[in-house]
Amino acid sequence: MLGQLIRSLADLTEPYVPRWAWIVGVLVLAALAWPSVRRSTKAEAARKHFRTAVRYGYEERLRREDEAIAMMGEDIDGLVTLADLALAEGRPRIVSGLVERVRASGKRPDAVKRLTVAVEGPLPGSAMEAVILVERFWAQGQQGEARKRLARARERWPNDEDLDALALRLDAPAAGEGGG
C-alpha cells in the first residue's frame, strides 16, 4: 500500500521530482514521526496499566499505579494525563504527587493550576480570607492542611504582611518545641 502510494506520487511528479526523492522523503517523515508515535504508545500503555489497577487489592493497586507513573518517566504531558485520570477516579493522593512533579518541571502551569484547584479547592478571594481559613484549619488540629494552604496563599500574595505574621506565629511553637 505504501509502495503503491509512492509509485503513484512519483508517476504524477516524474518530470519534477525523481522517484528516489519520494522514497527518501517518506523515510525522513517516518523517522521524524517515530519519537511521537513511540511516546504515544508508551503513554497509552501506562494509561491502561493505571486504569486496570483498580481491579486489584490495595497493595497491588498501589504498586501498579506506581509502575504506571514510572512508565511515564519525565513525559510531562503523560503525567498530566495520569493526573486527570486519577482525578476522575477520585484518587487525590496520586494527583497531588503528579502535580508536584509537573510543577517541579516548570512546564504546563495551566495544568498545574487546574489540577491544584480541583484537588485543594480554589484560593480565597483575598489574603485576609486566606488568614482566616488557615487559622480555622489550625484551630481544628489540621496543621498539615493549614501549612499547605498558607504556602499557597503566600505564593499568591508574596508580600502580604498578615500572611507573613501568620507564618511567624505558626512557626513559633514549632521552633520553641525543638529547643527544649
pTM of the model: 0.59
pLDDT at 159 exceeding the cut of 70: yes
Cβ–Cβ < 8 Å for 74, 95:
no
Distance of CA 19 to the CA centre of its chain: 46
Span 86-100, pLDDT tens digits: 888 888 888 888 888
Span 104-140, pLDDT tens digits: 888 888 888 888 888 888 878 888 999 999 999 999 9
- Biggest distance spanned by C-alpha atoms of the chain: 90
Distance of CA 38 to the CA centre of its chain: 20
d(CA 153, CA 136) in angstroms, rounded, equals 14
d(CA 90, CA 133) in angstroms, rounded, equals 24
Task: Give the per-residue pLDDT at 15.
Answer: 66
Task: Give the per-residue pLDDT at 178.
Answer: 46
d(CA 17, CA 40) in angstroms, rounded, equals 33
Work out the burial of residue 156: count CB atoms within 10 Å of its CB; fewer than 13 is exposed, 13-18 middle, 19 or more buried.
middle
Give strand ranges (E) for 8-119: none
Work out the burial of residue 38: count CB atoms within 10 Å of its CB; fewer than 13 is exposed, 13-18 middle, 19 or more buried.
exposed
Span 21-39, pLDDT tens digits: 778 888 888 888 877 777 7
d(CA 119, CA 110) in angstroms, rounded, equals 14
Cβ–Cβ < 8 Å for 153, 135:
no
For the chain, give the mean pLDDT.
83
Span 4-25, pLDDT tens digits: 877 777 677 666 777 777 788 8
